Amino acid sequence: MYHKLNSVLKNREKLIIELRYGLVNGGAKTQREIAKMLGISRSYVSRIEKKALNKLFKEMTM
C-alpha cells in the first residue's frame, strides 16, 4: 500500500492522505485541520483527497 502511495500520488495528495488517515503518526486529522496547516481551503483539501482516493482505487483494482 505504501508503495502505491509513493508511486501513484503526487506529493500534496500523498501528504493529505497520510494526514487524513493517520498513516504517519497514527493521529488522523480533519479536513479543516489539514487546510489550516497547508494554508488552503477545506473544500480544496476535500477535492485533493477525493482525487487521490480515486487514483489509489483505480491502481488497486487493475
- Quickly state the pLDDT bin for 41 (edges 50, 70, 90): very high
- Tell me if the pTM is above 0.75: yes
d(CA 36, CA 30) in angstroms, rounded, equals: 10
| Residue 26 confidence (pLDDT) | 86
Neighbours of 33 (CB within 10 A): 15
How far from the centroid of its chain's Cα atoms is residue 52's Cα?
6
d(CA 21, CA 17) in angstroms, rounded, equals: 6
Q: What residue segments make up the domains of the chain, in order of their start? A: 9-40
Q: What sign does the dihedral 23-13-44-47 (CA atoms) show?
A: negative
d(CA 45, CA 34) in angstroms, rounded, equals: 7
